[in-house]
Chains A and B, each alone.
Chain A
Amino acid sequence: MAKIKGFLFTIGFLIFITALFTLVIIVYSTTFQDDKRIAEIGALDNINNLDSSLKNSIKELFLAYSNMAVGTLGTNISFNETLVNNISDFQISLSYLKNFTETNYNIASLNITDLNESLPLIIMPQRIEYKHNYSNREIIITPEELNFNGYHFLITNVNNATCDSASYTNGSFILKLDSNSLTTAQFPDCDFDLSINPNVKNTFSIGSSGPYQNSVTIEISNGGVAKIRSVELNSIPRLHTTVLLNQSTGSQTKLMLPDSIIRISDNILKVFKKDGVRIL
């Protein structure tokens, strides 16, 4: 009996010591896990910092060098630039930023091909794309669907700003078109205030005669796709475009550079991030 008691006591003590050791191991590993979690949170914050600071930097470069002014007019979005704009400084600064970023952070890369080629801007959430075709001296506005009210184009600094021709079909899509040979909006030489059908081809041209005939052409078709083209080489027209949005979505409207400009890929944390840049 005494032997059994001693044996049971030894076994019990062994079990107790084992449980104690297990507890120590669990406590130790929990401490380690806790430190690891904090390190991970810090690393994720650093990725977030890199992402948001790159967005901020690209926005700064856009505002400084794109030679474009963008803004809101009530619930509408406006763009103001020469036709067609010179963005060489923006391209240079972006390429340096790309070089600087990728040299210093091997987890980050900038995809600036689209920005260099056509500088697309996207009105969200309507998904209306405003982009450039620099070789054709053309600006193209492409809505994903017809979920806005119309356009207001003001073209200034045109050598001959009188209306030349207009071919359109009546509808409910608003088109305001003013042009002026001066640099102001007052007393336009050409003044259209129409409601057209955006699903058929509507064309307008400015510059009535001589070397300046059809110096600026505007085409609206295919569900509101607008193409504004300048063929005048003797002056640099300025195009002020206002996209007339629905009042209901106005407060949520933002203007973005396209998705996937910034790419961050961290293989250790298994994090992949792809982001655009908000301008407005």
Chain B
Amino acid sequence: MVTNQPKSLQSFGKNKGFIFSMDAVFALIMVIMILTISNIYLSRIEFSSISDLQIIKRSNDLFKILNENPNNGTNYIVLANFTDFNINTTLRDIIVAANGPNNIPNIDINLKFTARCFNYTNTGLFNKNYTYISPHIVPNDRFIAASQRIFVIPNKINVLSTYYCIGEQRSWLK
């Protein structure tokens, strides 16, 4: 059979099956790569969003509770008196109150609290610091939630001895 096709096409004709197979393989590899990357991305987004939000929400809730109902009803945060145990107990109580005793999730947050307090006296502005630091080191390779609250420590005998404080908390996943 005589043909007028150029040599390149004649060669293509001979390798047609191989070339289409290679195309299919490349296409399959690309599809698998896209699906894998999408999957990894979506799972990472889902995980990081939820855990970051959980840290923000949990630590804020805990901080608020500790600030407004600290240490069995005393009127201010005595941060120095906190321990991992009573912070976790408080958090557990909150969760139990919210969810019921049969649905207690793991408490997986580390905390660091500090407070700067000032008072206005006749002789100037004084300050004192309260600190509670969880025995864990603040990590520098993961998400850390941070927030502040204002609180006061009234002194009923002398109003000038009232302390005005800013409490700060940092929290991160264990």
Contact = CB atoms under 8 A, between A and B. Distances in A.
Q: Do A and B bind each other?
A: yes
A31 interface: yes
Contacts of B164: 57, 96-97, 100
B154 A100 contact: no
Interface string A197-227: 0000000000000000000000000000000
Interface in B83-134: 118, 120
Given A38-B49, A38-B53, A53-B150, A96 B162 contact: yes
A10 B142 CA distance: 44
Nearest to A20: B34
A56 B77 CA distance: 12
B152 A97 contact: yes
B12 A46 contact: no
Q: Is the interface of B mostly helix, strand, loop or mixed?
A: helix
B148 A2 contact: no
B138 interface: no
B151 A56 contact: yes
Nearest to B67: A53
Nearest to A30: B45
Contacts of A49: 60, 63-64, 147-149
Contacts of A89: 159
A97 B67 CA distance: 17
Contacts of B150: 50, 53-54, 57, 97, 100-101, 104
B154 A60 contact: yes
B60 A2 contact: no
Contacts, number: 92
B75 A53 contact: no
A87 to B, nearest CB: 11
A93 B9 contact: no
B3 interface: no
Contacts of B154: 60-61, 63-65, 93
Interface in B151-174: 151-152, 154, 156, 159-160, 162, 164, 166
Closest 10 CB pairs of A and B: A64-B154, A53-B149, A100-B164, A89-B159, A53-B150, A57-B152, A45-B60, A38-B52, A96-B120, A49-B147
Interface of B: 6, 8-9, 12, 34, 38, 41, 45, 48-49, 52-53, 56-57, 60, 63-64, 67-68, 75-76, 118, 120, 145, 147-152, 154, 156, 159-160, 162, 164, 166
9 contacts: A30-B45, A42-B56, A49-B60, A52-B149, A53-B67, A60-B152, A93-B162, A97-B152, A99-B120
Interface of A: 2, 20, 23, 27, 30-31, 34, 37-38, 41-42, 45-46, 48-50, 52-54, 56-57, 60-61, 63-65, 89, 92-93, 96-97, 99-101, 104
